[in-house]
Structure 1
């Protein structure tokens, strides 16, 4: 037992478990999308059982039951990874409360998401509940990302490398990114991929929702470009690289979005767009983290003079002013 605790207490294992949790939660979004896109949303017509008499799928339910039940089984795998993350955080020496709290947040997010998924089935795939189910995954991914980044934190108290106004702009960009995801669920809820032919759709003009979604996407892209220029201006190269990655992911996601719209929403492109939404969210969180990251303690010395080169992520005298 002590040997098992020693293995769980390895910092590298904790970091890998946190990263695995992110990947697993993105995976559950993709498989959940496959359930809806194949019309298997009610493959198991009730919850928590698959049928009134069985917790597992039956041959009479066919491929739709297999797809829906398979997605439910994946929840247990995602939960196991999160549980191992909690145990590893508890086994760290010295134990860090921030890691424990974040690992527990990720773990508790899994059953919460499962319950929302249950209400999704019980509501006969009400589009508002379906959207909430997706957004719950996005929240768990955010907690997982914070957990992963916390495993790399040195715990130093040196000042951040990015000026406060730019950190505020990074937060604003994150809020807009979240808004893009929320409105995106409304667009999907008014579209043709309901998960079942009898499921209700959001009774709002899809064209109007799509236009609102596109407007928010362009706002997000503009903010991302502004961040890239601003980070470069203050010499925050790490944050600038993160912003550039975000811009690239947004452009790729935008291309998929336009193609799927003008090709009348083929299932494969809708699925790729859902995966791309997770990538945009992760890239946004990466920018937020890069803007908030603190310099190593050794770098917290007074600003370099004109004759001494500055570290790429340190504030210049201009940035301090």
Structure 2
């Protein structure tokens, strides 16, 4: 008869539970799904970072931290003397650091994949390189006291980062084989023209912003251009973009393009029309901050929709089985232990 405490039988070695947890963590880190979600999160937070940067400008907090890389001459963080402007500007800087951490995680996960994809590694490393570059541009923006042309470069570089983040996310969703185009060469050329005009519209929008009232600080300079003139130029370019987008949609229907490609074109036109309405309303209501912020997010939406039209025009074939590198497995003797 047993008189002592009950005996709890384990499955083997004392560290079996720890080994199981380590194995589960390893599976999560090596999972393509995990990498895909991290890549998507990186894309989303880069768009959010554009919004927080706009919030800094729209609240007049552009010089809440008047120097760089420190917030003040004597502190890396905001102080009570800087007030809420310092909190807003410093919060934007902290969010940028969080974006950098997320990108580092993406690089590590890309390297840990059982079958490494050079596109995933390349785009994740490219994302990592953009982080210090954008930080330097942001620093120059502060050191030049919000020079409107530097502010414009700061925003446009964010659009470049969104391209890189989008391509990284796309690389986690597609096979690694060769590209097969779903549309003809002339239609692809029209699509490239569409992307170029979209970029020009975004650039013109930064000039409108640099000529308008939301400078980010009461002492910040403006471009000196007539706001009405540059706003009219921007509106004309938007009309050109919408016309090209509609023409591209008709071309897709004419060649019998797949549904996913035609749907991407329709979505682009819809986003452009919504963004155009917001732009007109904010102009005729004298640029209220809330509508300007919505318009800023709309600019990111237009850019992503334009990028989607290109990726929707092709597919990647799966890699040949002979070229695939099998995932490492444990020896039979070790797995039996």
| TM score, norm. by length of structure 2 | 0.85
Query: 1:94-243 alignment to 2 at 5 Å?
Result: 94-157=115-178, 159-236=180-257, 237-243=259-265
Contact 2:147/2:222, CA 8 A, preserved across alignment = yes
Match of 1:284 in 2: 306
Deviations 1:1-46 (A, max 9, x none): 7764442221111111111111000000000000000000000000
Q: CA deviation at 1:136?
A: 1.0
| Distance (Å, rounded) in 2 between the aligned partners of 1:10 and 1:103 | 16
Q: CA deviation at 1:110?
A: 1.6
Deviations 1:65-96 (A, max 9, x none): 00000000001111111111111111112111
| Distance (Å, rounded) in 1 between the aligned partners of 2:179 and 2:127 | 28
| Distance (Å, rounded) in 2 between the aligned partners of 1:14 and 1:200 | 43
Where does structure 1 differ by over 6 angstroms across 4 or more consecutive aligned residues?
none
Q: CA deviation at 1:140?
A: 0.4
Choose from 266, 289, 294 the match for 1:267. Answer: 289
Q: CA deviation at 1:159?
A: 3.0
Contact 2:152/2:207, CA 8 A, preserved across alignment = yes
Work out which of the two has the higher radius of gyration on C-alpha atoms and give 1 or 2. 2
| Distance (Å, rounded) in 1 between the aligned partners of 2:181 and 2:73 | 56
Contact 1:161/1:295, CA 8 A, preserved across alignment = no
Unaligned 5+ runs, structure 2: 1-21, 320-337
Give the 3-state SS of the residue equivalent to 1:159 in structure 2. Answer: strand
Provide the alpha-carbon RMSD of the alignment. Answer: 1.5
Q: CA deviation at 1:123?
A: 0.3
Q: CA deviation at 1:294?
A: 4.3
Q: 1:5 to 1:128 in 2, by over 3 A?
A: farther
Match of 2:269 in 1: 247
Contact 1:170/1:291, CA 8 A, preserved across alignment = no
Contact 1:160/1:295, CA 8 A, preserved across alignment = no
| Distance (Å, rounded) in 1 between the aligned partners of 2:146 and 2:180 | 48
Choose from 38, 50, 53 the match for 2:71. Answer: 50
Choose from 108, 128, 131 the match for 1:87. Answer: 108
Contact 2:176/2:316, CA 8 A, preserved across alignment = no
| Distance (Å, rounded) in 1 between the aligned partners of 2:122 and 2:296 | 29
Matched, 1:77 2:98: yes
